Copies of this chain bind each other. A is one copy, B any other.
Amino acid sequence: MGGVPLAVSFDDVRAAAARIEGLVHRTPVVTCAALDALAGARLFFKCEQLQRVGAFKFRGASHALSRLSPEQRAAGVLTHSSGNHAQALARAARDAGLSAQIVMPANSSPVKLRAVQEYGAQITLCEPTLAAREQAAAAVQARTGATFVHPYDDAHVIAGQGTAALELLSQAGPLDALVVPVGGGGLAAGSCLAVQGLSPGTRVILAEPAGADDAARSFAAGRRLAPDAPRTLADGLLTGLGELTWPILSAHAERVITVSDAQIIGAMRSLWERAKLLVEPSAATVLAAILNDPTRCLAGCERVGLILSGGNVDLDRLPFAAEGETRRG
């Protein structure tokens, strides 16, 4: 850690919150006694599945757009993504009156393609490899002059994502710990900065699928390691840590808890059945981490915040095994 300057600060998160106020939902914080009983702590769920486009990604995209110069606005924005960031950028651009170009793999689900299209973005299809995505994005950029907005390794995006934790801390009151999912690390890094500025005594714990455990391995090695053939149902968390996000996480997050896909599905079912919170697998990692941590590092914590990252699931392909249980505590 030491003296390396970080790309984003708490002041950046606070400034982002002021810039995107009114553009993004101030999402509710929900509690559920039945889940508290399971966890042995009071849990505060920050409901980013109720954010616009159903995911926290709308915060970072909105903030990045708010920082464009008039010249940049005229040329529009660009990204490559098959997930929530694509929808978030397309929708935020439409709201801001900008054009958006989205490079998407040709094997993206028709549902996601249609969603991006309905938000008025122009889609360029490419082969489903990172190289093909980057090449296609570069070609679109050369042609249009659009500004590329990275899904997580961008200072404005990180600052925007941090506003979710900023709100949670003011909504829930003092927290002993905050559990955040980690994929590329934009939400996690922004959350670290919010905590550092508002509540430095709150421990930040990262939740990660065991099938995409580059953050856990990076923490163990003390340096940023790349994903190694990641595979998990939590498809929002497949990406590796970024150049900007890793230094923030390594400086401020306490540790990473990895969870199996079966544990993620179990936690997701509990969130749906007990708390009536319709979240996607990536979001359920945070509850899975609390309920299944072999180190019991959160034992003794009385008040724990959890950021539920999103709720974009295919209702025709739910992962639940058949077993009945349908109420809320």
Q: Which residues of A contact B (CB under 8 A)?
A: 25, 28, 30-31, 33, 47, 49-50, 52-54, 87, 91, 109-112, 115, 269, 272-273, 275-279, 311-316, 318, 320, 322-329
A84 CB to nearest chain B CB (Å): 9
B53 contacts A328, C-beta separation under 8 Å: yes
A87 and B312 form a contact (CB under 8 A):
no
The distance in angstroms between the C-alpha atoms of A194 and B28, with both chains bound, is 24
Contact A316–B323 (Cβ < 8 Å): yes
**Chain B residues within an 8 Å CB radius of A326:** 111-112, 115, 312-315
Of A50, A313, A322, the most chain B CB neighbours within 10 A belong to A50
Pairwise interchain contact A320-B324, C-beta atoms closer than 8 A: no
Contact B54 A115 (CB under 8 A): no
Question: Which residues of B are found within 8 Å of A311, using beta-carbon distances?
Answer: 276, 328
Give Cα A112–Cα B324 distance, bound, in whole angstroms. Answer: 10
Min CB–CB distance A66 → chain B (angstroms): 19
CB distance from A38 to the nearest CB of B (A): 13
The answer to whether B278 touches A111 (Cβ under 8 A) is: no
Q: Are B327 and A320 in contact (CB under 8 A)?
A: no
C-alpha gap A54/B30 in the complex (Å)? 12
The list of the 8 closest CB pairs from A to B, nearest first, reads A54-B328, A28-B28, A276-B311, A278-B278, A115-B327, A49-B276, A276-B278, A111-B324
A324 and B110 form a contact (CB under 8 A):
yes
Question: Nearest Cβ in chain B — how far from A164, in angstroms?
Answer: 15
Q: How far is the CB of A224 from chain B (nearest CB, A)?
A: 32
* Pair A87/B327 contact, Cβ less than 8 Å: yes
In the complex, the count of this chain's copies comes to 2
Q: In the bound complex, what is the Cα–Cα distance between A312 and B279 (angstroms)?
A: 16
A86 to chain B, nearest CB (A): 11
Q: Which of A112, A311, A326 has the most CB of B within 10 A?
A: A326
Q: Is the CB of B327 within 8 A of A316?
A: no
A320/B328 in contact, CB under 8 A: no
State whether A50 touches B30 (Cβ < 8 A): yes
- CB of B111 within 8 A of CB of A327, answer yes
Chain B contacts of A315 at CB under 8 A?
A: 269, 272-273, 318, 320, 324-326
Given contacts A276-B311, A313-B326, A315-B320, 15 further A-B contacts (CB under 8 A): A25-B31, A28-B30, A50-B275, A50-B276, A52-B328, A52-B329, A53-B329, A54-B328, A91-B329, A110-B324, A111-B326, A276-B278, A314-B324, A314-B326, A315-B326
Interface centre among A111, A314, A315, A320 (most CB of B within 10 A): A315
Task: Verify A327–B314 contact, CB threshold 8 A.
Answer: no
Chain B hits for A275, CB < 8 A:
50
Q: How far is the CA of A315 from the CA of B275 in the complex (A)?
A: 13
Known: A111-B327, A272-B315. A33 touches B52 (CB 8 A): yes
- 6 A/B residue pairs, CB under 8 Å, sorted by A: A30-B50, A49-B276, A111-B325, A276-B311, A315-B320, A316-B320
Cβ–Cβ < 8 Å partners of A54 in chain B:
276, 327-328
Does B316 contact A322, Cβ atoms closer than 8 Å?
yes
Docked Cα-Cα span, A324 to B272, in Å, equals: 19
